[in-house]
Amino acid sequence: MNLSELQTQLKRLDLTPSRKLGQSFLVDENIAAWIAAQLQVTPDDCVIEIGPGFGALTRHLAGKCRRLILVEADGRLARFLQETYGPLGVEVVHGDATAYDVRPLFLEGGVKFIGNLPYSVGNAILSRFLDSPSPVRSAIVMVQKEVGDRFVAVPRTKDYGVLGLMLQERWRVTALRTVGPEPFHPRPAVDSTILRFDPRPPDDLPPHSPEVFRSVVKQGFSQRRKQLHNNLQIGKENAAEIFSVLDCQASVRAEELSLPQWVRLSNLLDPHPCGDLPPSADESLEVVTENDEVSGVLPRREVHQKKLRHRAVHVFLQNKSGEIYLQLRSHLKDTHPGKWDSSASGHVDPGETYDDCAVRELWEELWVRPRGDLTRVARLSASAATDDEFIEVFLAETKGKIRVHGKEIDSGRWFAPEQIEEWIEKRPQDFATGCITCFQAWRAGLR
C-alpha cells in the first residue's frame, strides 16, 4: 500500500493515526517485502504478527505459512484486516498484544514472530512473547533505533544495561538494518531499527537461576554511577573476594561486566539449592520388586540401562486460579532433556519415603516449600509408561517464589489443566513420559 492508497483508506475508515497507539504506517513496498523475507517463512510455519496496521507486512506473509495470526489493537483496523485477509484464512485478533495469552501457541510446536512495535509498549510486548519459556523460535521486529541500540548494547557503552541483558540472556539479538522516517506515514521523529532474535544455545552460558540473574542485574544497575558492590550491598572485603573470581576489581561498575560475568555473579551471590547437587550419574537408586519392595541398591545409570524397577515422585503445584506449573527440563538431564514435565519430580533416595522425597524435590528444583500438607492424588505401578518407576503423585499449593536452575530446569510456566490436556493430545512428543502418565492419572481421579 503506497501513501496515496493509505490516505484513501484512512479517509474511508475515518481514522486519524493515533500517537497513543504509536500508529505510523509503513508505505514503502520494497522495505516491507525485505522485512517479511527476513523471517524466512516456510509452508509449515505458524506466524504471529503484532500491530499489522493495514497489512504492509501481512501481504507478504499471507498464503506462505500454515497459520498466520494478526493481533491488532485498533478495532477499525482489525475489521479492515478481517475483510481483506480473513477470506485467505488469516486469523485476526482484536486485542492488546501486551495482554495476549501466549500459552496456546505452545501447541504449535514453535512459532515465528514479527511486528513493527510501538515505542510506548514495545518492551512490554517483547516481554510477553519472548520471556522464557517462550513459544517463539525466531523473531523479526522493528523498534525505534534508540531502543534497538539498548537491545544489542555491549559492556562499557552508554546503552548497556538491564533491558539488553534481560533479552540477551535468552536471545542473540542482531541489528539488521536502520530505516529512516521517510517510509512511514505519519513520519516518526526518529529512525527505526530492524532486529532479529534467535534463541541463545542452552549451553552458551553457565547453568544458573534466571530469576536470581534478573534480580541481581536490576539491583546492580539501580544506581549506574555507583560502584557495583555498593548497589549490591556487598562489604568491601567480600567484594574483593567475589569480584576477583570474575577477574574484576572491587571498584567495578555495573556497565563493565559482560553477560557471562553477570551470570557467574548471580551464582556466587545467591546459590540455588540444586546448584551444588552431585552429577546424576553418581546417584544410587533402590531397585524394587514388582510389589515395590527393596531388593538392592545400584547406580542410576545401570538402573536405567537395564530398565530395572525403582521409585520416584511427581508433584503438581497448583495456584489459586487452579493452574498447574509445568517445568521445561534442562538440556543437561540424562533422560527427556528439553521436554516438559511435572512441577517437580525425581527419584526416591535410598531409605527415603515418597512423602519426604516430594518435599525435597520441591526445594531442590523450585526453591519452595509446600503450603501445608501434600495431597497424594495417585499411585502408579512400574511400567513402560512410567519409565519403570513406581510413582506417587502429589498435589501442592505454592509457598514462596519459584526459582529454578539450569542444572535441573530450564524454565517453567503456569497452564490451565484444560490447556495441558489439549497440548498432550496434540503434541505428546513435547512431554516427558512420566509427566503424561501422572497428569492423566490425576485428572482421571477427578472425574
Mean pLDDT value of segment 192-216: 96
* Strand 67-72 to 91-94 pairing: parallel
> Over 80: is that where the pLDDT of 290 sits?
yes
Q: Categorize the per-residue pLDDT at 281 as very low, low, confident or very high, splitting at 50, 70 and 90.
A: low
> Over 80: is that where the pLDDT of 289 sits?
yes
Q: Do domains 210-271 and 280-446 have the same CATH topology?
A: no
- Single pTM value for the model: 0.93
Neighbours of 429 (CB within 10 A): 7
Interaxial angle between packed helices 236-245 and 259-269, expressed in degrees from 0 to 180 and rounded to the nearest 10: 130
Whole-angstrom CA distances from 169 to 258, 287, 380, 402 are 11, 40, 39, 19
pLDDT digits (tens, 9 = 90+) for 130-178: 999 999 999 999 999 999 999 999 999 999 999 999 999 999 999 999 9
- What nine digits make up the cell of 100? 495476549
Cell 485428572, residue located: 443
pLDDT digits (tens, 9 = 90+) for 71-121: 999 999 999 999 999 999 999 999 999 999 999 999 999 999 999 998 788
Return the domain boundaries, the chain.
3-199, 210-271, 280-446
Q: What percent of the chain has pLDDT over 70?
A: 99
CA-wise closest residue to 129 among 153, 157, 110, 145: 110
Mean pLDDT value of segment 62-74: 97
Sequence-ordered list of residues with C-beta below 8 angstroms from that of 193, at least 6 positions apart, any chain? 142, 143, 144, 145, 147, 148, 149, 175, 176, 177, 178, 179
More confident residue, 444 or 22: 444
Distance of CA 381 to the CA centre of its chain: 34
What are the backbone dihedrals phi and psi of residue 392, each rounded to the nearest 5 degrees, phi first? -110, 130
> Over 90: is that where the pLDDT of 278 sits?
no
- What nine digits make up the cell of 244? 576477583
How many angstroms separate the CA atoms of 266 and 199, rounded?
21
Strand order through the sheet with 111-116: 91-94, 67-72, 46-50, 111-116, 136-144, 192-199, 171-179
> Over 80: is that where the pLDDT of 1 sits?
no
Q: Categorize the per-residue pLDDT at 447 as very low, low, confident or very high, splitting at 50, 70 and 90.
A: low
Q: Which CATH superfamily is domain 210-271 in?
A: rRNA adenine dimethylase, C-terminal domain (1.10.8.100)
> Over 80: is that where the pLDDT of 276 sits?
no
Average pLDDT, the chain: 94
Mean pLDDT value of segment 350-354: 96
Q: Looking at the structure, give the CATH architecture of the domain made up of residues 3-199.
A: 3-Layer(aba) Sandwich (3.40)
Q: For the ranges 205-219, 276-290, 312-326, which has the lowest average pLDDT?
A: 276-290
CATH class of 280-446: alpha beta
**DSSP 8-state symbol, 73:** S
pLDDT digits (tens, 9 = 90+) for 387-405: 899 999 999 998 889 999 9
Mean pLDDT value of segment 311-321: 96
> Over 70: is that where the pLDDT of 316 sits?
yes
**What is the predicted pLDDT for the residue at 23?**
82
